[in-house]
Homo-oligomer: A and B are copies of this chain.
Amino acid sequence: MSKTLNDSAGMGETAFRADRIERKSLTLRARTADAIRQAIADHRLPPGAHLKERDLCEMLGVSRTSVREALRHLESELLIETVPHRGPVVVSLTGEDARDLYKVRAVLEGVVGEQFATNASDEQVAELRRLARAMAKAARKDAPQVTLGIIADFYQVLFAGSKNRICAQIIQSLNTRISIFRRLSLASKGRPKAMLAEVERIVSAAEARDPEALKQACIQHVEGACAAVMRQLAAGMGLSGQQKPPDRPAKRVNTGRKSI
């Protein structure tokens, strides 16, 4: 991805190619939103948790302004729901929601796959193959962190190759919500192996440049993940739908802040 950032500028004869200056991440509010988003994905802020802005300020060390603007962002991502004068609450997703979320993601990835088959460059197809191999290796070594990173790259290539900016954006935004219970998918036994097979199918179809096959492969991949999650939800108790746990301390004493 980041390899082709600095070419084709043609500033003179020797390509200068230096790394861009650190754009200091982004704005503070963006980083604040990221932090909260991450905390939600990790269940450090569990579903149903009531977010008080002043707590967030202290936890993150930023002002109320930044926190509030970050919250507006998460709000329209539907990661939190805000009741006027009561503040934001981390969404609680039902089993139904999970199914719908995956259903939507399935058809959208179908679109991505279909368009990738016709719009992607040969390099992108090759890159897919390379990443699939890397993924298999990481899986054999049982290195989940690495695997996750490779999966993310895999998707980036898929999105870029499909040339469908809109679709990619929406899937990303879906994923922030899916991440709330993605852990369930990984925990499912046998899932990693099945996933590798699905990925292999995707890459093969991509190499064959077969839109319909690639579409189906992508859909099946999502359906696999969905099935894994639903199985977990059915078996163990779904860790999604409860209320705010100990949101009300015994008396009205100066509540020590819980660490984010």
Contact A167 B111 (CB under 8 A): no
Q: Chain A contact residues: over half helix, strand or loop, or mixed?
A: helix
- Inter-chain CA distance A165–B23, complex, in Å, is 38
Which of A70, A107, A111, A166 has most chain B Cβ within 10 Å? A166
Within 8 A of B (CB), among A61-118: 65, 68-70, 72-73, 75-78, 84, 96-97, 100-101, 103-104, 107-108, 110-111
Tell me the number of copies of this protein: 2
B65, B100, B166: which contacts A165 (Cβ < 8 A)? B100
Contact A27 B84 (CB under 8 A): yes
Q: Let me know if A152 is at the binding interface, CB within 8 A.
A: no
What residue in chain B is nearest A24 (Cβ atoms)?
B84
Contact A101 B166 (CB under 8 A): yes
Residues of B near A108 (CB, < 8 A) are 104, 107-108
Q: Closest CB of chain B to A157's CB: distance in Å?
A: 18
Contact B103 A169 (CB under 8 A): no
Residues of B near A84 (CB, < 8 A) are 23, 26-27
Residues of B near A27 (CB, < 8 A) are 84
Q: Let me know if A187 is at the binding interface, CB within 8 A.
A: no
Contact A164 B100 (CB under 8 A): yes
Q: Let me know if A244 is at the binding interface, CB within 8 A.
A: no
Contact B72 A104 (CB under 8 A): no
Q: Let me know if A170 is at the binding interface, CB within 8 A.
A: yes
- Inter-chain CA distance A73–B167, complex, in Å, is 20
- Inter-chain CA distance A245–B150, complex, in Å, is 43
- Inter-chain CA distance A169–B97, complex, in Å, is 12
Q: Let me know if A29 is at the binding interface, CB within 8 A.
A: yes
Residues of B near A110 (CB, < 8 A) are 107
Residues of B near A65 (CB, < 8 A) are 65
Q: Closest CB of chain B to A178's CB: distance in Å?
A: 10
Q: Closest CB of chain B to A208's CB: distance in Å?
A: 22
**A104 and B111 in contact (CB under 8 A), knowing A29-B72, A76-B77, A84-B27?**
yes
Which residues of A pack against B, CB within 8 Å? Answer: 23, 26-27, 29, 65, 68-70, 72-73, 75-78, 84, 96-97, 100-101, 103-104, 107-108, 110-111, 163-167, 169-170, 174
Given contacts A100-B165, A104-B167, A108-B108, 9 further A-B contacts (CB under 8 A): A72-B76, A73-B73, A76-B77, A100-B166, A101-B166, A103-B164, A104-B164, A107-B110, A107-B111
* In the A-B complex, the 4 residue pairs with the closest CB atoms: A72-B72, A100-B166, A107-B107, A76-B76
